[in-house]
Structure 1
C-alpha cells in the first residue's frame, strides 16, 4: 500500500505479514509487523529528519493508520506585549513549537519562576502556545530586561522585553530573531544549493555555522556564505553549497548571538548520492 502526503511531499510504503498460521496451513491474522519506508523527503522544516521518526500505528479492526507528527523548533510569532492591570504588569507572547517546549523566564539574567509575586502560564492549542508572565504589586525594582526562553529537541528561541519604570531607561537593542523559515533553492545551471534566511538584531549578531554538532568554516568554491543588510536592523544570510554530495547533507544550524539574547535556525539538507 502506498500513501502520499499533501502536496506530494511524502511517500510511505506499509508492508505487513501475518505472524501465525492455523494447523491446516491457513494464515491467521494474529499480528502484524509494519515497516515504514520514507520514499521522498523535502527540505520543509516541518519534516526535518523525517526518516528517523517513530510512527505510532493505530489498528482499529483490520485497518492501520500511521500518524506522522510535525517537528517544529520554537519560533516566536510576534513581538512580546506588555499590559497593566491595576498594580500588576503582564508580559505576553505567542510561540509555535512541537513538541511542547520547556519554558524559562528571566530578568536581567536571573531565572524567574512561578510563585510569590510571579505567575507563569502557558496556554496550548495544538502547535501554538500563548506564554504569559504576570508580576504583581509592581515596584521600581522590577524594571529591567525580561527574557523568555523556549527549547525543545529541535531547537530553541528567545524573546526579550524591556520594562522601564520610573525613568529607568532600558538598553536600546534587539535580541536576534530569525524572521522566516529558511528558503532552500537548487540552481541547476550552477549546480548549487542555496539557503536563505533573514535575521533581525541590534546590535549586529555574532554568527556561527554548524553541520550536525561540528562548527564549520567556509571552503572557497565549495561552501560559502554571505551576509548583507536588507532593512534597518535586518540582514539576509545566504549559504551556497556547490556540487553537493551525500556527505554534504545533514542538519545545518546557524546560531546568532548579541548582548540581548540568542537564536538559531535549523536546516535539513538531504542529498542523494
Structure 2
C-alpha cells in the first residue's frame, strides 16, 4: 500500500498530520514516538530469535554427542557379549531354542512323539513276524480231557441226585485242585449227567503218562484211566472230520513228511454225549501203506419185527458185526435215551450175530414216528429206518416191504494184462439202494479210459456194484468208499487199495 499523507488522531481529534518523513522530523511528536517504539520491539524480537536459535543449536549438538556416545557403548557391549558366547551356542537349533525358550519343552515333546510314531510301523512289523514265527514253531500248549458221567445216586429222583466228588491222579500222584497247570472242572449237564474236564496248560513231555479219574457219590464209585502220549510237532499232523449223509462222518489224519518213526498202531476214538467208540489202524512205512482193521462191518440180517405185550411194544432186528457195535437210536431226528419210557439194548445170539431191541412202554399216539437205528464199529456203519404207527394201544410197523442196505465184504481183483483193478461190492437191500463211490473225499463218476461203474441185480434183492479202475497207476492208491441208501436205511463199505509202481 502507498501512503501519501498521514493523520494522527488522539481521542477523536487530529493532533498531527503530514507525510511520514514530515512527522518523523517533529521532535516529541506522537507519530515519532510510536514509530520509535515499534522499531524497538522488532529489535528485541530479532535478538531473542537469534538467542533461541543459538541455544537450540547447542542443545542439538549435545543430543547428537550423547547419542553417539550411547551407540558406541552399545556396540562395545554387543561385541564383548558376542565374543563371550561359546561356539556351540551359535548353532541355529540352539539359537531357535533360545529364541523360543518358553515353548522349548513342548517342542521336545512333539519331536519325541513324532519319533515314536515313526518307530511304530517297524516295531509292529518285527513283533508280528515274531508272532507268526512262533505260531509256525508252536507245539500243543493246552490239552483238555473231558469225560461225561451218568450217575443214578442210589435210586433217588434225578432232582435229588448229589454232585459227585472227583479226584484226579497223574502216574498215581494226586493232582491238587489249586494247581495253575491243571484246571479241573465239573458241571451239571442235564438231569443226573455231569461233564468232568481236566485242562492241562503249557503241555510238555513231563505231562505224558497215565491219568486216573476217580468219581464217587453216595451210591457208587467209578474209575477211568487215560493214557496220554506227548504228540510231536503240531505241524506234522492235520486232523479233520467231514460230514457225510445220514449222520455219518469221515475222520481224516494227514501226516506230513512221513518217516519211519510214524509207523505203528493208530487209535481213533469217537465220542458224543450218547457214548463213544474207537478203531485202530496199523501204519507200515513200506511204500506208505496201511491196513484196514480186520472184522465185519455191521449189517442187518432181516427186516425189523415188532412184538407187543400189554402196552409195551418191542422192535427187534438181527444183525451181524465184529467187533460188537455201538448202538444209537433217534426218533424223528431227536436223540433217544434210555429212560422209563424207552429202553434200548443189544444182545449177543452167538458168534458175530446180535439182536437189537427197542422197548416202547405205555404206548400212545405220540410214539408214532421214524425211528433210526445206527450201528458202528471200527469196520463201518449201518443205519436202519423203522417206521412205527400207533393207533389206540396198538403199534404196527410200516414199510415192511423195504430192507436197509447191507454190504458183504468187498472183493478186489487185478488184471495185470489189462492194467485194471476191479472193486466188487455185493449189497442186499429192498428197495434198490442208490450208490455213491468216493476216493478219499472226492466223488467218483464214470469217466472214459479211467473209471467204469456197473450194477447187476442178483437174486433175493441182492445187487453187485463194481468200480473198475482202468490203466491203474500208483496214484490210484488210496481208500475207496461205497455208500448205499434207500428209504429203509443206509450203509457203507471201505476198501484200502494199494497199486504197486511195478504193476502200473
Bin the TM-score by the shorter chain: 0.5 to 0.7
Matched, 1:85 2:309: yes
Runs of 4+ in 1 over 6 A off after TM superposition: none
Given the alignment, which residue of 238, 241, 253 partners 2:469?
Answer: 241
Offset, 1:231: 4.2
Offset, 1:269: 1.6
Offset, 1:83: 2.1
How many equivalent pairs are there?
Answer: 217
**SS of equivalent to 1:218:** coil
Q: Distance in 2 between matches of 1:176 and 1:252?
A: 21
Pairing 1:73-152 to 2, within 5 Å after superposition: 73-123=297-347, 128-152=353-377
Q: Distance in 1 between matches of 2:461 and 2:417?
A: 33
Deviates more, 1:163-172 or 1:144-153: 163-172
Q: Deviations over 1:29-78 (max 9, x none)?
A: xxxxxxx99xxxxxxxxxx996428xxxxxxxxxxxxxx97344332343
Deviates more, 1:200-209 or 1:211-220: 200-209
Asked whether the equivalents of residues 440 and 479 of structure 2 are also in contact (C-alpha less than 8 Å), the reply is yes
Q: Distance in 1 between matches of 2:421 and 2:466?
A: 10
Asked whether the equivalents of residues 91 and 133 of structure 1 are also in contact (C-alpha less than 8 Å), the reply is yes
Q: Distance in 2 between matches of 1:260 and 1:131?
A: 16
Unaligned stretches of 5+ residues in structure 1? 1-35, 38-47, 54-67
Pairing 1:206-217 to 2, within 5 Å after superposition: 206-217=434-445
Q: Distance in 1 between matches of 2:344 and 2:421?
A: 43
Q: Which residue of 2 aligns with 1:58?
A: none
Report the structure, 1 or 2, having the larger helix content.
2
Offset, 1:122: 2.4
**SS of equivalent to 1:141:** helix
**SS of equivalent to 2:302:** coil
Matched, 1:269 2:493: no
Q: Which residue of 1 aligns with 2:6?
A: none
Deviates more, 1:173-182 or 1:243-252: 173-182
Q: 1:178 to 1:122 in 2, by over 3 A?
A: closer
For the aligned residues, what is the CA RMSD? 3.6
Asked whether the equivalents of residues 144 and 170 of structure 1 are also in contact (C-alpha less than 8 Å), the reply is no
Matched, 1:52 2:276: no
**SS of equivalent to 1:52:** strand
Matched, 1:163 2:388: yes
Asked whether the equivalents of residues 118 and 135 of structure 1 are also in contact (C-alpha less than 8 Å), the reply is yes
Q: 1:169 to 1:78 in 2, by over 3 A?
A: closer
Asked whether the equivalents of residues 307 and 315 of structure 2 are also in contact (C-alpha less than 8 Å), the reply is yes
Asked whether the equivalents of residues 175 and 257 of structure 1 are also in contact (C-alpha less than 8 Å), the reply is no
- Which structure has more relative contact order (CA 8 Å, sep 6+)? It is 1
Asked whether the equivalents of residues 384 and 488 of structure 2 are also in contact (C-alpha less than 8 Å), the reply is no
Q: 1:239 to 1:69 in 2, by over 3 A?
A: closer
Q: 1:69 to 1:254 in 2, by over 3 A?
A: closer
Offset, 1:118: 0.6
Q: 1:141 to 1:49 in 2, by over 3 A?
A: closer
Q: Distance in 2 between matches of 1:75 and 1:232?
A: 16
Q: Distance in 2 between matches of 1:235 and 1:94?
A: 20
TM-score normalized by structure 2? 0.37
TM-score normalized by structure 1? 0.64
Q: Distance in 2 between matches of 1:98 and 1:104?
A: 17
Q: Distance in 2 between matches of 1:237 and 1:69?
A: 22
Offset, 1:138: 2.1
Asked whether the equivalents of residues 280 and 293 of structure 2 are also in contact (C-alpha less than 8 Å), the reply is no
